[in-house]
Chains A and B, each alone.
Chain A
């Protein structure tokens, strides 16, 4: 593959990432089951309102008297009285009366600024240089998702992208069972302890997988690739799917909420394939270590009326509505990134593989303030990876081990304001910021064929992105969205040098999306 082709592919991949990194899901299956509108649970799908949060917390059930709301009775897999016979019978459960299937499709149109072909500065005047069109229509995701409750407070969720960008490259999103309120067996307060098992998105304050934005929040996609001289190659991002188990408790619609997850270690970005070893496709973990993720938040509902304050939705003068609230939270992720290299035993002769397990953490704080139809929220995140560099003593040709050097760090976050001007129209203003001096340094002198392509050469270590947007619900299940991304400044360097071939430029992008779920 030529460097030009690679440039084009990488650039288009970037745009595709921008478009498809938010895989949002609403659940038409629940609409069918309960005979109710999407807006019972969603403000601007897939953004959840307070009732939707309670529905999710309860294991995809109405929080109270669920059975009285179901319009399609579930199929019993055993009479309830069978419980009396246990353990001499299978514990009775149920499956939804209708296949709990929802489908989703979206389509995009984008306009890229006139600087879009500035990446060709490394090959000026070449008539075969890659050309990036000004405008483009693109098919998006075609996804299937299934969710519901099997009885006994066991919830399930599976979603899969059947097609991405018109091609077949999809994959499993989340797939898990959630055992809701298992704390009742330990005489704990209601909803104090639940267990989730499978593949799932980490319990982030703001879900990238269920984001309502056309483009994802940058900080959740940030990896930590060290600068030259650092031995850090951590492809983990908080938005990555995790496999493991998660304990959680509390509620998202008021009071405390916590989660503690133990998940696979995978910092290579591929299934069991760190950058420096051959892939072993039958495993997902790339080391024996299991990563830890913890989150705690507390939401203060601020309604004056105590009765209303403690309800799932606040009682407004003209009908129920979301609470006025302030939510504060924190998150922490701890893992150990594996780096392997060819080395020698201390005898200096016997060759061996030396392994560094570099501890890393991500720590963050978040807030969300809601007043009626105005929601202001934000996230700050800091990432830090230990940097263990190979140690080659004098007289040795290969390293015998590692020593600790300057850590690789990044930080950043976002602030977003959503205003639901009308029940079918939401305006959005968002500011994303990522600070990574390594990202800037890695772009200097990079060739198009190098792992870090020049389009990623930011002018500054701090990258800002401003994204105003507006979304319209045509129906409760059909939405059209627009956003304009004012992207950070970039520059193209002469390969291998720090000589700038361009003046700083931005590849601002206007994106329109149309999607429907059914």
Chain B
């Protein structure tokens, strides 16, 4: 009997949660290429970081993928797949130069890890190949999405509520706007460099 009650409560809770989870979708315009849209810090709420570590590869003198979106507290692994020496460093996190860091040098096939505890865009650079460029976008919530080539995005499973949603694009000024999520919610952004 107890078990049945617990199951019923769980089902009701799940249904009510599903009913209150919405999506934020829209378009980022004014810039070309991939952008990142995310729900900014929610006061009073913390989210456990994912246990899985994404990998940023250095391959063919490129950072692959070019943009990686991670949640605050995520550990990112940096791999060198090239048969040339590489290095990874960044000069700031979200514009804060005190958070710049240099991971040094490591041979082909090996990885180095770094845990990103501060939100903001991290411009990845290599000091021997100055043309190499990549980004880690560290976002404070699990609610984020990258746009497709046309600028369209969709953030799913966002609980209903009022948030600040921010759009980021390489080299452009961030744009933030308040968004009230209730079911299907639209939010478009126009960025400029």
Contact = CB atoms under 8 A, between A and B. Distances in A.
Contacts of B59: 68
A34 B61 contact: yes
A62 B82 CA distance: 11
A89 interface: no
A104 to B, nearest CB: 20
A320 B105 contact: yes
Nearest to A315: B105
Interface stretch (A35-43, A95-103, A122-130, A226-234): A35-43
Contact of B128 (A35, A63, A313): A313
A312 B87 contact: no
A319 B61 contact: no
A497 interface: no
A71 B61 CA distance: 10
Given A35-B61, A68-B60, A313-B85, A319 B102 contact: yes
Contacts of B104: 315-319
A136 interface: no
A35 B86 contact: no
A311 interface: yes
B105 A319 contact: yes
Interface string A296-319: 000000000001000111011111
Interface in B139-190: none
B44 interface: no
A430 to B, nearest CB: 27
A37 B129 contact: yes
A69 interface: yes
B131 A37 contact: yes
A36 B61 contact: yes
Interface in B109-160: 126-131
A476 interface: yes
A51 interface: yes
A320 B102 contact: no
Contact of A65 (B83, B129, B131): B83
A64 interface: yes
B152 to A, nearest CB: 28
Contacts of A317: 102, 104-105
A312 B106 CA distance: 13
Interface residues of A, number: 26
A318 B85 contact: no
A315 B86 CA distance: 9
B84 interface: yes
Interface in A387-444: none
Interface string A372-396: 0000000000000000000000000
A262 B40 CA distance: 71
B63 to A, nearest CB: 13
Interface string A311-341: 1110111111100000000000000000000
Contact of B126 (A63, A315, A319, A321): A319
B102 A51 contact: no
Interface string B97-111: 000001011110000
Contacts of A34: 61
A39 B131 CA distance: 9
Contacts of B126: 319
Nearest to A70: B60
B129 A64 contact: no
Contacts of A316: 104-105
A51 B61 CA distance: 14
A34 B61 CA distance: 8
Contacts of B61: 34-36, 40, 69
Contacts of B106: 315
Contacts of B83: 62-65, 68
A68 B105 contact: no
A476 B131 CA distance: 10
A189 B90 CA distance: 41
A476 B130 CA distance: 10
Contacts of A311: 85
Contacts of B107: 307, 315
B89 A319 contact: yes
B128 A51 contact: yes
A397 to B, nearest CB: 72
Interface string A445-458: 00000000000000
A416 B60 CA distance: 36
Nearest to A68: B60
B130 A312 contact: no
B84 A318 contact: no
A39 B86 contact: no
Contacts of A36: 61, 129, 131
B84 A319 contact: no
Nearest to B59: A68
B131 to A, nearest CB: 5
Interface in B25-78: 59-61
A248 to B, nearest CB: 23
Contacts of A319: 85, 87, 89, 102, 104-105, 126-128
Nearest to B127: A319
A60 to B, nearest CB: 15
Nearest to B85: A320
B1 to A, nearest CB: 65
A64 to B, nearest CB: 4
Nearest to B131: A37
Contacts of B89: 318-319
A320 B87 contact: yes
Contacts of B131: 35-37
Interface in A261-287: none
A68 B82 contact: yes
A39 B126 CA distance: 12
9 closest cross-chain pairs (CB), A and B: A319-B87, A320-B85, A64-B83, A319-B127, A315-B105, A37-B131, A318-B102, A65-B83, A313-B85
7 contacts: A35-B61, A36-B61, A64-B84, A312-B85, A317-B104, A319-B105, A320-B105
Interface of B: 59-61, 82-87, 89, 102, 104-107, 126-131
Interface of A: 34-37, 39-40, 51, 62-65, 68-69, 71, 307, 311-313, 315-321, 476
Given A37-B131, A69-B84, A320-B128, 19 more contacts: A35-B131, A39-B128, A39-B130, A51-B84, A51-B128, A64-B84, A68-B82, A69-B61, A313-B128, A315-B106, A315-B107, A317-B102, A317-B104, A317-B105, A318-B104, A319-B128, A320-B105, A320-B127, A476-B130
